[in-house]
Amino acid sequence: MIKIANAPCSWGALEFDLEKKSEEIGFMQVLDEIQETGYLGTELGDWGYMPTDPKHLREEIAKRDLELLGAFVPVALAKENEHKAGLESAMRVAQLMYMAGYKNAFIVLADDNASVLERTQNAGRINPDMGLDKEQWKIFAKGAEEIARSVKKTFGIRTVFHHHCAGYVETPDEIDTLMQLTDPNILGLCLDMGHYAFGGGDPVMALNKYKDRIWHVHFKDYDFAAAEESRSNKGDYFDALKRGVFCELGKGSVDFKSVVDILNGIGYEDWIVVEQDILPGMGDPKKCAKANRDYIKTLGL
């Protein structure tokens, strides 16, 4: 049975080092509102956003009848000298989830998004000249696999890779390359509908293409008009976010009905995580979360 969750990023608690980070909504309010708007689970958010004591973490999530299903871990995988720190970060997060009793949760591995200026400035309009060379790809893939293997061997927790705009794995071709360079038994794919569309692809095609590799799913919608407006103003990734490029579900271009039909057809029975990335101070997260949950109900979930 497919279960629906939400994540702290929908309340403005993003992984990026933003000036407005002090305006983040506290984790207790976020968990309350995730539960109140009809979701069954949450992701962890940035390290330190939720309790880092396993017992405390378990208490806070369990008392709201929620599950913890994953944690986003950004690593600058294109830099070999960052792999050791990235592995330590992933192991720390995996240990917390394991010790708190969430042994089926995922490490949601990603590039250290928004850390490379060219990729951040050109999110949604990446060309091949902005990508990794052959040697860098080997380093990137090796780092991702090493993290996934170590986490699995030590804690039995699986790792999925989250392609992401403003990072080195954004376009359909880049996702293809990473999937070809990594072991399908070790590293799964977290398919994010909004990021795949913003990166220039069709999420429905991606679902059909990677159906055997998709272990985790993010529901995010994509507003083409907002992306075009940002592009015409030479806006970067954060400019696109401010313009609402990731809009409420059902108000963008992603064909969620077909997405759900495919997921049902391939027998997907894990979590779907709603993520409507907002910057602190943008909109009313609880109202958006409720609207998104109501929309998903119209799809039969």
pTM: predicted TM-score of the whole model, two decimal places: 0.95
pLDDT above 80 for 84: yes
pLDDT above 80 for 22: no
Overall average pLDDT of the 8-22 stretch: 68
Give tens-digit pLDDT for 113-138: 999 999 999 999 999 999 999 999 99
User: What was the pLDDT predicted at 281?
Assistant: 61
pLDDT-based confidence at 17, cuts 50/70/90? low
**Nearest-angstrom CA–CA distance, 153 and 95:** 12
Domains of the chain, CATH where assigned: 3-298 (3.20.20.150)
**Nearest-angstrom CA–CA distance, 174 and 258:** 24
Please give, one letter per residue, the 3-state secondary structure of the chain: CCEEEECHHHHCCCCCCCHHHHHCCCHHHHHHHHHHCCCCEEECCCCCCCCCCHHHHHHHHHCCCCEEEEEEEEECCCCHHHHHHHHHHHHHHHHHHHHCCCCCCEEEEEECCCCCHHHHHCCCCCCHHHCCCHHHHHHHHHHHHHHHHHHHHHHCCEEEEECCCCCCCCCHHHHHHHHHHCCCCCEEEEEEHHHHHHCCCCHHHHHHHCCCCEEEEEECCCCHHHHHHHHHCCCCHHHHHHCCCCCCCCCCCCCHHHHHHHHHHCCCCCEEEECCCCCCCCCCHHHHHHHHHHHHHHCCC
